[in-house]
Amino acid sequence: MTQVKNGDKVRVHYHGRLNDGSTFDTSEGRDPLEFQVGSGQVIKGFDDALSTMTVGEKKTVVIPAEHAYGEASPENVVEYPLDQFPEDMQPEIGLQLHMSDNEGNNFPVVITEIKDTVVILDANHPLAGKELTFDLELVEIVAE
């Protein structure tokens, strides 16, 4: 059987879980995820896990944070003045917002704390700092 190699386009069913067993993403009920191995379209640990798989094979892999979304960075947590929010917006913990930096790049942030005059915004990826477990099934190596 043919093994996956770098540059192959593959179709994969997956189920991603956190250490507490909760699901953070799955392809269940959807078409398999299709991407080119080694192209940077998925996290490194996911890519690496496919490198020895053959069509029809299933396996479970545990991906440490450094091969997933990296560690959470304190530099991505900032204070933002409450008086800078629009008057019709009520800040709430857990609320996801989109911000822009000085270069015009947009990025998501989440309100993690509300203080007297500021809110704490976290721009880290929600899965940063987390070990991820994936159940994988290689459905197809797509012929080009």
pLDDT for residue 139: 96
CA distance 141 to 104: 39
CB 83 within 8 A of CB 117: yes
CB atoms within 10 A of CB 18: 13
Secondary structure of 69-136 in the HEC alphabet? CCCCCHHHEEEEEHHHCCCCCCCCCCCEEEEECCCCCEEEEEEEEECCCEEEEECCCCCCCCCEEEEE
Q: Please give the class, per CATH, of domain 74-122.
A: mainly beta
> What residue spans of the chain are helical by DSSP H?
44-50
The CATH-assigned architecture of domain 9-70+127-142 is: Roll (3.10)
Place of tokens 């800078």: 84
Tell me the per-residue pLDDT of 42-82, one tens digit each, with 9 for 90 and over: 999 999 999 889 999 999 999 999 999 999 999 999 999 99
CB 98 within 8 A of CB 109: yes
Tell me the per-residue pLDDT of 94-110, one tens digit each, with 9 for 90 and over: 999 998 888 888 889 99
pTM to 2 decimals?
A: 0.81
Residue extents of the structural domains in the chain: 9-70+127-142, 74-122
Residue 144 has pLDDT above 80, yes or no: no
